[in-house]
Amino acid sequence: MSADRAARALRDQVAEGALSCGTRLPEERLSASLGVSRNTLREALSQLVAERILVRAPHRGVVVATPGADDVRDVYRVRLLVEPGVCRDTTAHSTGGLAAVRAAVTEGRAAAAAEDWPGVAGANQHFHRGLVALAGSPRLDAQMELLLAEMRLFFQRMGAPEPFHRPYLEENAAIANLLEEGRGDDAADRLTSYLRAAEHQLVEAITALDGSGPRRS
Amino acid sequence: MSADRAARALRDQVAEGALSCGTRLPEERLSASLGVSRNTLREALSQLVAERILVRAPHRGVVVATPGADDVRDVYRVRLLVEPGVCRDTTAHSTGGLAAVRAAVTEGRAAAAAEDWPGVAGANQHFHRGLVALAGSPRLDAQMELLLAEMRLFFQRMGAPEPFHRPYLEENAAIANLLEEGRGDDAADRLTSYLRAAEHQLVEAITALDGSGPRRS
DNA sequence: TGGACAAAGTTGTTGAACAATCCCTACGGT
DNA sequence: ACCGTAGGGATTGTTCAACAACTTTGTCCA
Confidence of residue A106 (pLDDT cuts 50, 70, 90): very high
Distance separating alpha carbons of residues A181 and B77, to the nearest angstrom: 23
Domain total in chain B:
2
Kindly state whether residue A215 falls inside one of the protein's structural domains.
no
Domain identity same for B35 and B51? yes
Domain harbouring B22, CATH code:
1.10.10.10
Domain identity same for A191 and A89? yes
**Average pLDDT of chain A to the nearest whole number:** 93
Residue at which a domain ends, from A13, A41, A64? A64
Domain identity same for B94 and B163? yes
Domain identity same for B118 and B37? no
Q: Is pLDDT at A176 greater than 60 in this prediction?
A: yes
Kindly state whether residue B177 falls inside one of the protein's structural domains.
yes
Domain identity same for A53 and A83? no
- Can you point out the beta strands (E) in chain A? 54-57, 61-64
Kindly state whether residue B124 falls inside one of the protein's structural domains.
yes
Domain identity same for A18 and A88? no
Domain identity same for B9 and B81? no
Distance separating alpha carbons of residues A191 and A84, to the nearest angstrom: 6
Host domain of residue B95: 69-210
Residues A138-175 as b/e (b if ≥16 CB within 10 A, e otherwise) read ebbeebbebbbbbbbbbbbbbeeeeebbeebbebbbbb
Could B43 and A47 be called an inter-chain contact, meaning their C-beta atoms sit closer than 8 Å?
no
Q: Is pLDDT at A211 greater than 80 in this prediction?
A: no
Residue at which a domain ends, from B21, B36, B64? B64
Tell me which chain B residue has its CA closest to the CA of residue A49: B47
Kindly state whether residue B110 falls inside one of the protein's structural domains.
yes
**Residues of B in Cβ contact (< 8 Å) with A75:** 139
pLDDT in tens, A35-79: 999 999 999 999 999 999 999 999 999 999 999 999 999 999 999
Domain identity same for A126 and A97? yes
**Residue among B17, B21, B25 nearest B42 (CA):** B25
Beta-carbon contacts of residue A113 (< 8 Å; ≥ 6 apart): none
Could B47 and A50 be called an inter-chain contact, meaning their C-beta atoms sit closer than 8 Å?
yes
Rg value, chain B, Cα: 18
Please give, rounded to a whole number of angstroms, the shortest distance from the CA of A98 to a CA of chain B.
19
Distance separating alpha carbons of residues B101 and A109, to the nearest angstrom: 47
Residue at which a domain ends, from A13, A33, A64? A64
Kindly state whether residue B215 falls inside one of the protein's structural domains.
no
| Angstrom distance, B60 CA to D12 C1' | 7
Instruction: Identify from A41, A81, A150 which residue to disrupt to test chain B contact, counting B C-beta atoms within 10 A and taking the largest count.
Output: A81
Domain identity same for A154 and A197? yes
Residues B147-183 as b/e (b if ≥16 CB within 10 A, e otherwise) read bbbbbbbbbbbbeeeeebbeebbebbbbbbebbeeeb
Domain identity same for B118 and B39? no
**Residues of A in Cβ contact (< 8 Å) with B154:** none
Kindly state whether residue B112 falls inside one of the protein's structural domains.
yes
Is pLDDT larger for residue A191 or for residue B164? A191
Domain harbouring B85, CATH code:
1.20.120.530
Q: Is pLDDT at A163 greater than 80 in this prediction?
A: no
> For strand D, which nucleotides have at least one atom less than 7 Å from a protein CB?
11-18, 21-24
Least confident of A155-164, B90-99, B134-143, B162-171: A155-164
The share of chain A scoring above pLDDT 90, in percent, equals 89
User: A37 near A31, Cβ under 8 Å?
Assistant: yes
**Residues of B in Cβ contact (< 8 Å) with A89:** 81
Kindly state whether residue A216 falls inside one of the protein's structural domains.
no
Beta-carbon contacts of residue A92 (< 8 Å; ≥ 6 apart): A86, A134, A135, A136
Domain identity same for A109 and A12? no
| Angstrom distance, B33 CA to C27 C1' | 39
Domain identity same for B118 and B141? yes
Kindly state whether residue B216 falls inside one of the protein's structural domains.
no
Cα distances (Å, whole numbers) of residue A205 to A69, A150, B72, B154, B192: 9, 16, 41, 44, 38
- Which of B75, B86, B138 shows the shortest C-beta gap to A74? B138
